Structure 1
Amino acid sequence: MSGLRDEFAGLAALVTGGASGIGLATATLLAERGARVACLDLNPEGVPEPLLGLAADVTDDESVRAAVAAAADALGGIDVLVNNAGIGARGSVEDNSDEEWHRVLDVNVVGIARVTRAALPHLRASAHAAIVNTCSIAASAGLPQRALYSASKGAVQALTLAMAADHIREGIRVNCVSPGTVDTPWVRRLLDAAADPPAELAALRARQPTGRLVRAEEVAAAIAYLAGPLAAATTGSVLAVDGGMHGLRLRPDPPPR
C-alpha cells in the first residue's frame, strides 16, 4: 500500500473539468498519492486545497494556453494530463441543431486537442509522461437518445489511439477510461429534468449489470492506474469502468414460481 500512497510523489498533474464529479475525484486521489495537482475548470472557485484551481475554457485556445502555462509554472512542470472536461447531449440524430453539434464536439473532442497541444512541451520534458482521456461506454454501445454524445465519445476513443501512436516514441503514454453511467452532478441534473426521475434512475441502474451507478471515485481509481508510473507498459488502452455493460450479457432472472 505504501507504494500506491506515494506513487505520484514528485509528479505534477493537470486535470480538466476538475472542480466536480470525476475530475474532482481524480484530482483528489492523485493528490492523496503524492502529486501536485492543478484543476482547470470554467468555475474553479470550489476546488479545495491542496489542489490548485485555475479558470479555463477548453473551447478557447488562448484561455487554455494561459491556464496550462500557469499550471506548469505553479507546479514545476506537467507529468500527467487528464482530459476530463466534457458536456452531455440528449436526443436522436435529428434532435440537435448544427450549433449544438458544433458546441458539444468543440468541448468534448477539440477541447482535448487544445489542452494536449498546450501541455505537450511540458510532457515531453517528463520521464513519466502520461495522458488519460475520459471517454464513455457510449463510444462502443448503442444507447438510445445519445446520438450526438455518442459521436463525440467515439471520436475521443479514436483520438486516444491516434495520440498513443503519435507520441509513444516521445515517451508519452496515452490511454482512456470508458465509464458507464456515473453518479455525478451532471447525471443528477439529467434525472431531475426527467418526466419521472425515480423511474429514470431505476432504468439507469438496471442497464448496468451491477445494478447500480458507477461512483466517481471508481473512475478516478482507473484514471490513476493508467496515469501512474506503475502502468508504464500500458498505452493505447481503453479501460472500461461500466459495471459490466461492455462485456457482460446476463440472462434475465427467472420468473417467480
Structure 2
Amino acid sequence: MQRFTGRRVLITGGGSGIGRATVHRILAEGGLVVAADVNAEGLAGTAEQADAEGTAERLTTTVLDVSDEDAVRAGVAAAVQALGGLDVLVNAAGILRSSHTHETSLEFWNLLLRVNLTGTFLMTREALPALLATGSGVVVNFSSTSASFAHPYMAAYAATKGGIQSFTHAIAQEYSKQGLRAVCVAPGSIDSGMTNNPGLPADADFGLLAKLAPALGQGFAGPQTVAGVIAMLASEDGAFVTGTEIRIDGGTHM
C-alpha cells in the first residue's frame, strides 16, 4: 500500500517503540516524515533503519522536548518548513511511571502531566494552523487503556491519558467544519520498550495486575501492531473516524 505518497507527517516519540514503528510504517507507505524525539541516540537508530530499508531520503529527524514550549514552537515551524506543509501529526511521545498514589510526589505528578498531556497540547496547538490549511488534516493522539480501565499504581499516568482523550474529543468537534480529524489510539498489552520497565513499586501486588494479560493468548504484541492502526486512521481509510479512541489490546479489557 502507498496510502501516504506525497503526504507530510510529523511524528513525536520517533526514536523508539511505537513512535519508531509508526515512522517506518508511514515511510513504507510513501510518506514524507519528520521524526522528533528528545533522545538523539534513538533518532539515530530510527535513521539507520530507514537507511537499511531504502526510505531515508524521505525522513528528517529532529531532537525535540515536547514539554518545552519554545522548543515545540521552533521545532514544529521547522518541520512544516522542511515538509512544505503538514497533513498528519502523530503525538506518540510520552513516558510511563508507576507509584503508590499515597507516595506520589508533586514533582512526579507534574513530570507526567508536562510530558504526556502538556506535550500533546503544545504540539497540537503549534501544528494546527498548518493542518487546517490543508482542509483535511489529521491528529493522532496517544491515550491508553489505563484511561478507561483500572491500572493499579498508574493513577498519574492514567490521569494524563484520560486528559488526552478528552482533549482529542474537544478539538475533533471544534475543528470538524474545517476538515480536521482528531483520533486517539489506546494501546494496552503492547511490548513497546516503555512497558518493559514501568517502575512498579517493590511491594506491588501482582495479583492486581493479573487481569492485564491479553485475551488472545499470544502474549504482548509488538509496536508495529499499533503502527498499522495509526496508518489506517491517518489515511483515507480512516476518513470517517474522528473524535474517538481505538483500543488496541488483544482483548485485555473486553
Distance in 2, matches of 1:60 and 1:11, equals 27
Output the CA distance in 1 between the equivalents of 2:201 and 2:173: 41
* 1:39 aligned residue: 35
Match of 1:92 among 76, 90, 100: 100
Q: Which amino acid aligns with 2:26?
A: L
Q: Deviations over 1:216-242 (max 9, x none)?
A: 000011111111122111111210101
Cα distance in 2 for residues equivalent to 1:130 and 1:204: 36
Larger-Rg structure: 1
- Counterpart selection for 1:173 from 181, 191, 195: 181
Residue 214, structure 1, aligned to residue 213, structure 2: no
Cα 1:104–1:126 shift into 2, 3 Å: same
**1:77 matches 2:73:** no
TM-score (norm 2): 0.88
The aligned length equals 238
Which residue in the other structure is 1:52 paired with? 60
1:194 to partner: Cα distance: 8.0
3-state SS in 1 of match to 2:100: coil
Among residues 229, 233, 249, which one is paired with 2:240 in the alignment? 233
Output the CA distance in 2 between the equivalents of 1:169 and 1:246: 34
Contact 2:99 2:201 in 1 (8 A): no
Contact 1:91 1:145 in 2 (8 A): yes
Deviations along 1:78-109, whole A, 9 cap, x unmatched? 10000111111212321210111111001111
The residue number in structure 2 matching 1:155 is 163
Q: Contact conserved, 1:22 with 1:220, CA < 8 A, in 2?
A: yes
Task: Tell me, yes or no, if the aligned pair for 2:36 and 2:64 is still in contact at 8 Å.
Answer: yes
Unpaired segments ≥5 residues, structure 1: 248-257
Cα distance between partner residues in 1 of 2:105 and 2:72? 26
- Counterparts of residues 237-252 of structure 1 (less than 5 Å): 237-247=244-254
Deviation at 1:161, TM superposition (A): 0.6
SS of residue in 1 equivalent to 2:220? coil
Distance 1:116 1:102 in 2: 20
Q: What SS is found at the alignment partner of 2:140?
A: strand
In 2, the alpha carbon distance for the partners of 1:209 and 1:137 equals: 14
| Aligned with 1:26 (options 22, 29, 35) | 22
The structural deviation recorded for 1:205 is 8.8
How much has 1:206 moved relative to structure 2? Answer: 6.2
Q: Offset of 1:246 from its aligned partner? A: 2.7
Identity of aligned residues (%): 39
Q: In the alignment, is the contact (CA less than 8 A) between 1:108 and 1:153 conserved in 2?
A: yes
Runs of 5+ consecutive residues of structure 2 not aligned to the other structure: 51-55
| 2:127 counterpart residue number | 119
Distance in 2 between residues matched to 1:154 and 1:160, nearest whole Å: 10
How far apart are the structure 1 equivalents of 2:212 and 2:186? 18
Q: CA deviation at 1:157?
A: 1.0
Change in 2 beyond 3 A, CA 1:72/1:204: farther
TM-score calculated relative to the size of structure 1: 0.87
Measured on the aligned residues, the alpha-carbon RMSD in Å equals 2.0
Q: Which is further off, 168-177 or 125-134?
A: 125-134
